[in-house]
């Protein structure tokens, strides 16, 4: 009798395990648990980096061939646009030479980086910016002649500021980090990279 | 050291000197240097030293139980090494888990040799003046799958689950930079600076990338294993530190390995 019960419950477990393929939510919950158990905090990189904000969660769902509905994209862009803040002095442009250094530096955010040192932005990891720098990546479009093509006026300045502050304001689920929104760059650093894009004397516009 | 290797070692020094200059126009010539280095090596690869050491470690008696690993079951039966890696990760009934090669070796070192799992997991990756058992065993066992087609199965429910979990991890955006694996490895023909990024969701790219690990890294003078590769990419992703042999790393490996099915395995290779 006893063996029969064990055999039966084993069978039930088997059927439960095989017949029902886990739902997507179940897999998602399982994956998060597996991730939480699979990492250790190190340096500045704590375990809460595995937790997702709304944007990260939505963008993860609509990836890997799962197309994002237009209204979801529109909602994301509206929300992210609302997160953008501007300098109190109203000036969006800093020093393009400082901006070039920030665009070159890949430092910041990794567990082996010193959290006290200022972060770079590593724009060159993903973008062409100047003719001088030939070691540039192609994850994002070329930004060479950015303002020369689009114009040097206040609207374009604001667009450049917004894009660096929170790229998702215009492109939901962009691959580009939210440098302002996530506090990767300081306000002054954002001014400097915006100047790199916008200053008529910047090599970007030569 | 034979002549080819001496030449190769000189070329390697030149590359290290070059890459030390950082990311700049010089990287281009570093790429050319690697090509020259590859040619200088001909068919040779310093990883062969790791492979030879790994073969000895496999056959030597060690641990509290003073046993070799020759009875270790890598999935094709106790002691069968040839072709085993091409079918990993896989479910193992004795441990009740899906294991990749590196976690399976921890299991075998523990059950056969009596080495505590915590001990076997310590410092798995080599560094200056430190050669590790993991690196050597992985180099040896993977080399025994050279030329054999990748054939990873998800027929057991736990294998299927590992694949799906791995897939979720691959697309999981998080951290201060909002990165996922897919940010850098989900699009065709992109690069970071001058480094080409395989689209690991696409079969041809996944095949080319997966079948080329482990690799002897010229810039580091070490054989780097697949778990090392994942750990280092998670660092670039600004995630916390990936635990060696964690379920997360095995699931992710399952996803990538299966995506590489059908291609002949071709490592340990040699990389920049």
B191–chain A Cβ distance below 8 A for any pair: yes
Q: State the smallest CA–CA distance between residue B180 and chain A in angstroms.
A: 8
pLDDT at residue A15 greater than cutoff 90: no
pLDDT at residue B179 greater than cutoff 70: yes
Distance CA A30, CA B255 (A): 15
Query: What's the pLDDT score for residue A22?
Result: 86
For chain B, what is the radius of gyration of the CA atoms? 19
Query: What's the pLDDT score for residue B229?
Result: 98
Per-residue pLDDT tens over the stretch B19-72 = 333 334 445 555 666 566 666 665 689 999 999 999 999 999 999 999 999 999
Residues A200 and A100 in one domain: yes
Collect all residues of chain B within an 8 Å Cβ-Cβ radius of residue A133.
Answer: 24-25
**Three-state SS annotation for chain B:** CCHHHHHHHHHHHHHHHHHCCCCCCHHHHHHHHHHHHHHHHCCCCCHHHHHHHHHHHHHCCECCCCECCCCCECCCCECCCCCCHHHCCEEECCCCEEECHHHHHHHHHHHCCCCCHHHHHCCCCCECCECCHHHHHHHHHHHCCCCCECCCCCCCHHHHHHHHHHHHHHCCCECCCCECHHHHHCCCCEEECCEEECCCCCHHHHHHHHCCCCEEECCCCEEECHHHHHHHHHHHCCCCEECCCCHHHHHHHHHHHHHCCCCECCCCEEEC
A23 within a domain of the structure (yes/no): yes
Residues A32 and A115 in one domain: no
Residue B201 CB partners (closer than 8 Å, separation 6+):
A64, B170, B182, B185, B186, B259
- The sign of the torsion formed by the CA atoms of A193, A199, A201, A203 equals positive
Query: What's the pLDDT score for residue B108?
Result: 98
Query: What's the pLDDT score for residue B60?
Result: 98
**Among residues B124, B149, B127, B148, which one has the least CA distance to residue B138?**
B124
Residues A113 and A190 in one domain: yes
**Chain B residue with minimal CA distance to A48?**
B175
Domains parsed from chain B with CATH numbers: 47-271 (1.10.760.10)
Query: What's the pLDDT score for residue B195?
Result: 94
A68 within a domain of the structure (yes/no): no
Torsion-angle region of residue B187: left (phi > 0), alpha (psi -120 to 50) or beta?
Answer: beta
Which band of pLDDT confidence, cut at 50, 70 and 90, is reported for residue B14? very low
B184–chain A Cβ distance below 8 A for any pair: yes
A124 within a domain of the structure (yes/no): yes
Q: Is B72 labeled as catalytic in the residue annotation?
A: no
Section B116-132 average pLDDT? 96
Tokens standing for residue B9: 């070692």
Question: What is the number of domains present in chain A?
Answer: 2
Residue A127 CB partners (closer than 8 Å, separation 6+):
A136, A137, A139, A140, A141, A142, A143
A58 within a domain of the structure (yes/no): no
User: Residue A137 in 3-state DSSP?
Assistant: coil
Per-residue pLDDT tens over the stretch A122-163 = 999 999 999 999 999 999 999 999 999 999 999 999 999 999
Residues A32 and A118 in one domain: no
Mean pLDDT of chain B: 89
Name the strand (E) or helix (H) holding A40: strand A39-40
B168–chain A Cβ distance below 8 A for any pair: yes
Which band of pLDDT confidence, cut at 50, 70 and 90, is reported for residue A16? very low
ipTM of the complex, rounded to two decimals:
0.92
**Chain B residue with minimal CA distance to A45?**
B240
Residues A110 and A180 in one domain: yes
A178 within a domain of the structure (yes/no): yes
Which band of pLDDT confidence, cut at 50, 70 and 90, is reported for residue B175? very high
Are the beta carbons of A37 and B236 separated by less than 8 Å? no
B164–chain A Cβ distance below 8 A for any pair: yes
A62 within a domain of the structure (yes/no): no
Tell me, what CATH number does A118's domain have?
Answer: 1.10.760.10
Residues A116 and A182 in one domain: yes
Per-residue pLDDT tens over the stretch B88-118 = 999 999 999 999 999 999 999 999 999 999 9
Mutate to test the interface with B, among A22, A23, A25, A35 (most CBs of B within 10 A): A35
- pLDDT > 90 in chain B, percent: 83
Instruction: Specify which residues B190 forms β-bridges with.
Output: B197
pLDDT at residue B250 greater than cutoff 50: yes
Query: What's the pLDDT score for residue B17?
Result: 36
A120 within a domain of the structure (yes/no): yes
Distance CA B124, CA B249 (A): 14
Residues A114 and A195 in one domain: yes
Provide the residue range defining the domain that includes A137: 96-205
pLDDT at residue B244 greater than cutoff 80: yes
What do you get for the CA distance between the two ends of chain A, in Å? 87
Which band of pLDDT confidence, cut at 50, 70 and 90, is reported for residue A21? confident
Which band of pLDDT confidence, cut at 50, 70 and 90, is reported for residue A24? confident
A160 within a domain of the structure (yes/no): yes
Residues A184 and A111 in one domain: yes
Mutate to test the interface with A, among B21, B24, B173 (most CBs of A within 10 A): B173
């Amino acid at each position: 009798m006893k063996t029969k019960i064990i055999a039966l419950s084993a069978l039930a477990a088997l059927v439960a395990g095989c017949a029902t393929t886990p739902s997507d939510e179940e897999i998602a919950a399982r994956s998060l648990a597996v991730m939480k158990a699979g990492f250790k905090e190190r340096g500045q990189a704590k375990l809460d980096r595995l937790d997702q904000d709304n944007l990260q969660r939505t963008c993860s769902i609509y990836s890997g061939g799962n197309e994002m509905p237009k209204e979801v994209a529109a909602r994301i862009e509206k929300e992210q646009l609302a997160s953008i803040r501007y300098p109190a002095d109203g000036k969006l442009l800093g020093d393009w030479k400082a901006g070039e250094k920030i665009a070159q530096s890949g430092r910041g955010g990794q567990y082996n980086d010193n959290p006290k040192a200022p972060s770079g932005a590593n724009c060159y990891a993903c973008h062409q910016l100047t003719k001088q720098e030939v070691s540039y990546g192609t994850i994002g479009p070329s930004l060479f002649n950015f303002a020369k093509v689009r114009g040097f006026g206040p609207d374009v300045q604001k667009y450049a500021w917004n894009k660096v502050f929170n790229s998702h304001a215009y492109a939901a689920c962009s691959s580009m980090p939210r440098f302002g929104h996530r506090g990767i760059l300081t306000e002054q650093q954002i001014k400097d990279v915006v100047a790199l894009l916008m200053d008529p004397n910047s090599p970007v516009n030569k | 050291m034979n002549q080819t290797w001496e030449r190769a070692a000189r070329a390697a020094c030149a590359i290290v000197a070059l890459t030390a200059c950082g990311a700049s126009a010089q990287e281009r010539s570093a790429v050319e240097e690697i090509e020259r280095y590859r040619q200088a090596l001909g068919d040779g690869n310093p990883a062969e030293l790791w492979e030879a050491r790994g073969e000895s470690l496999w056959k030597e008696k060690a641990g509290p139980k003073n046993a070799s690993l020759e009875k270790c079951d890598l999935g094709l039966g106790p002691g069968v090494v040839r072709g085993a890696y091409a079918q990993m990760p896989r479910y193992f009934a004795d441990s009740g888990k899906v294991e990749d090669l590196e976690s399976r070796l921890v299991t075998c070192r523990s059950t056969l040799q009596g080495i505590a799992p915590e001990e076997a997991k310590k410092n798995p990756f080599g560094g200056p003046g430190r050669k590790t058992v993991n690196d050597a065993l992985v180099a040896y066992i993977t080399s025994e799958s050279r030329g054999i087609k990748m054939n990873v199965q998800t027929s057991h429910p736990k294998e299927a689950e590992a694949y799906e979990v791995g897939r979720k991890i691959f697309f999981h955006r998080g951290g201060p930079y909002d990165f996922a694996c897919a940010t850098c490895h989900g699009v065709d023909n992109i690069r970071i600076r001058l480094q080409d990024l395989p689209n690991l969701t696409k079969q041809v790219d996944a095949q080319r990338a997966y079948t080329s690990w482990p690799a002897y890294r010229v810039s580091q003078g070490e054989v780097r294993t697949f778990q090392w590769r994942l750990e280092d990419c998670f660092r670039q992703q600004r995630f916390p530190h990936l635990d060696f042999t964690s379920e997360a790393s095995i699931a992710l490996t399952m996803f990538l390995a299966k995506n590489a099915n059908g291609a002949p395995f071709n490592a340990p290779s040699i990389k920049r």
